[in-house]
């Protein structure tokens, strides 16, 4: 990796002051934030990122905390590690999907340092993007090589002109829970629904996967409690990967169900690894309410979630996979 300067601020203000506010992507690239480094370092080793300055967030007091509010909602600091999130007792009990999603990331070693903010802001895994030699659209080139190439891991939904899948496992869980993200720059603070934080490649900036503006960073996530209703919420994260020991998902589903005497009263579904953003399946959610989990419900939910899917040459299997996953998850969660 290229040599760089290293800054270890102890306050948020100091860190934010170090971030360039220029809109020029080249300027912005000169400074990179680092938390656990599990993504940034791999990018630097492959020379996909060559910052002059690396700003370490881990010394910032309090930024790694998980706070439980009086209403039971959560506030998760950006540098909270995935291990801490996974093991947090309140999260386990009331936000099982989040704990399980965190626990599904990488390996024990990775989770022990990887942060929540870094997980949401990590760059794509598309192997064309990850090869320095290949100048694809993501890197400012003119072509998406995956589109006509080896695309078994790429998107079936929401693709074009880049067909990455969003790699984060936390993102679908947090979106399903209706989390909000707090962004700060030296001059302002913004809070927006996490769902809106992630951006499709067709929405303008192909070289970025989210709405992070110049000089901005993620400071925390607010996760509301699921709305009370008849019955109890159950939630879980279902992830299919080629290799269980550590691997990114082929398809994943963050699922929360409010079940009352066998009938679904509320549902949250968000798919991972099928689209460039966490893919909220709101049509499927609406359709499940009032039904029992049976073959028909599973089939309908699968169809609704995949509406508009356009597989590429080698990823058509993801349709069956996603349908199978939704049906498996609904049955498992409803009967748990």
Partner 1 sequence: MSMHQEGSKPPREAAPGKRWIEVPKIVNGIDSTEWVEVDMESDAPTWGDRASLRVLNRDLRRVDGPEKVTGQARYPHDVRLPGMVWTRILCAPFPVCKAVVDLDAARKVPGVVDARELREGGQVTFLGQAVAAVSAETPEAAEDGLRALKPRYEQQGFAVTREQALADDAPKVNKDGNVGRERKNGNLDEVEAALAQCRWVAKGTYSVPVQHHASLETHGVVVDFRGGKEATIHASTQGTFTIADEAARELGLSAGSVKVEVPYMGGGFGAKFGLDVPGTIACRIAKDLSRPVHLFLTRKDEFLLAGNRSGAVQDLQLGADESGQLQALSAKVDRLGGRGDGSFAQQPYVYHVPKRFFHARSVFTHTDASRAFRAPGHPQASFGIESILDELAYQMGKDPLELRLANLPEKGRADWARQLERCAREIGWYQHPHRTAPGKPTEPVMTGIGFAVSVWGGGGGKECVVEVRISRDASLAVLCGTQDLGTGTRTYMAGIVAEVFDRPLRSVSTQIGSSTLGRANASGGSTTTASLAPAVKVAAENAKRALLETLAQADGTAARDWALAGGRVIAPEKGQGGPNSMSFEEACLKLPAAGISASGEWAASLAGNGVHGAQAAKVEVDLRTGGVRVVKMVGVQDCGLPLNRKALASQLQGGMIQALSYALFEERVIEPDLGVMLNANFEDYKIAGSREMPEFVALIDDDDTRQQVIGMAEPAIIPGHSAIANAVHNACGVRVRELPLTPDKILNGLALARGLAANKEAGK
- For the four alpha carbons of 207, 209, 211 and 213, in that order, the dihedral sign comes to negative
Based on the shown chain and the rule CB under 6 A, indicate whether residue 208 belongs to the binding site for ligand FAD.
no
Q: Which range, of 106-114, 140-148, 198-206, 308-316, touches ligand FAD by CB under 6 A?
A: 106-114
Q: Are 279 and 257 in contact (CB under 8 A)?
A: no
Which of the choices ligand FAD, partner 1, ligand SF4, none does residue 138 contact, using the CB cut-off of 5 to 8 A by kind?
ligand SF4
Which of the choices partner 1, ligand FAD, ligand SF4, none does residue 124 contact, using the CB cut-off of 5 to 8 A by kind?
ligand SF4
Rounded distance, CA 248 to CA 242, Å? 8
Tokens 């993620």, residue? 218
Based on the shown chain and the rule CB under 6 A, indicate whether residue 279 belongs to the binding site for ligand SF4.
no
Query: Of 150-189, which residues contact ligand SF4 (CB under 6 A)?
Result: 154, 162-164
Query: Of 122-141, which residues contact ligand SF4 (CB under 6 A)?
Result: 124, 126, 128-129, 136-138
Closest by CA position to 197, among listed 219, 225, 228: 219
Based on the shown chain and the rule CB under 6 A, indicate whether residue 42 belongs to the binding site for ligand FAD.
yes
Residue 38 or 81: the one with the smaller Cβ distance to partner 1 is 38
Give how many residues touch ligand FAD by CB under 6 A: 30
Query: Of 11-40, which residues contact partner 1 (CB under 8 A)?
Result: none
Burial 231-254 (b: 16+ CB within 10 A, else e): bebbbbbbbbbeeeeeebbbbbbb
Q: Are 241 and 264 in contact (CB under 8 A)?
A: no
Residue 144 or 259: the one with the smaller Cβ distance to ligand SF4 is 144
Query: Of 243-262, which residues contact partner 1 (CB under 8 A)?
Result: 243-247, 250-251
Q: Which range, of 32-40, 51-59, 159-167, 319-327, touches partner 1 by CB under 8 A?
A: 319-327
Helices (H), the chain: 12-17, 25-29, 40-45, 82-87, 89-94, 96-103, 108-113, 116-121, 145-148, 170-176, 194-197, 282-288, 295-305, 317-334
Rounded distance, CA 208 to CA 99, Å? 27
Binding interface with ligand FAD (CB under 6 A)? 32-40, 42, 57, 78, 82, 105-106, 110, 114-115, 117-119, 121-122, 167-169, 217-218, 246, 248
């Amino acid at each position: 990796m290229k040599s760089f300067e290293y800054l270890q601020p102890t306050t948020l203000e100091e860190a934010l002051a170090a971030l360039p506010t220029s809109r020029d992507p080249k300027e912005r690239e000169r400074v990179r934030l680092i938390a656990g480094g599990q993504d940034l370092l791999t990018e630097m080793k492959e020379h996909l990122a060559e910052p002059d300055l690396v700003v370490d967030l881990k010394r910032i007091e309090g930024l790694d905390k998980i706070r439980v509010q009086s209403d039971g909602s959560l506030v998760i600091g950006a540098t909270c590690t995935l291990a801490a999130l996974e093991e947090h007792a309140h999260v386990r009990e009331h936000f099982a999907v989040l704990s399980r999603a965190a626990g599904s990331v990488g390996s024990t070693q990775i989770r022990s340092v990887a942060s929540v903010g870094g997980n949401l802001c990590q760059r794509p895994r598309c192997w064309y993007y990850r090869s320095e030699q290949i100048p694809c659209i993501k890197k400012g080139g003119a072509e998406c090589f995956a589109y006509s190439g080896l695309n078994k891991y790429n998107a079936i939904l929401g693709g074009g002109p880049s067909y990455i899948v969003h790699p984060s496992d936390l993102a679908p869980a947090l979106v399903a829970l209706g989390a909000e993200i707090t962004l700060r720059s030296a001059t302002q603070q913004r809070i927006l629904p996490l769902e809106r934080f992630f951006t499709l490649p067709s929405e303008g900036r192909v070289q970025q996967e989210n709405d992070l503006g110049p000089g901005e960073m993620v400071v925390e996530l607010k996760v509301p409690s699921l709305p009370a209703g008849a019955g109890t919420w159950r939630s879980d994260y279902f992830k299919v990967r080629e290799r269980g020991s550590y691997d990114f998902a082929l398809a994943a589903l963050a699922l929360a169900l409010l079940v009352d005497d066998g009938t679904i009263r509320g549902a949250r579904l968000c798919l991972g690894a099928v689209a460039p953003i966490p893919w909220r399946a709101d049509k499927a959610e609406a359709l499940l309410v009032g039904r029992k989990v049976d073959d028909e419900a599973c089939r309908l939910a699968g169809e609704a979630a995949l509406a508009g899917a356009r597989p590429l040459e080698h990823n058509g299997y993801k349709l069956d996979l996603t349908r199978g996953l939704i049906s498996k998850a609904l049955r498992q969660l409803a009967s748990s």
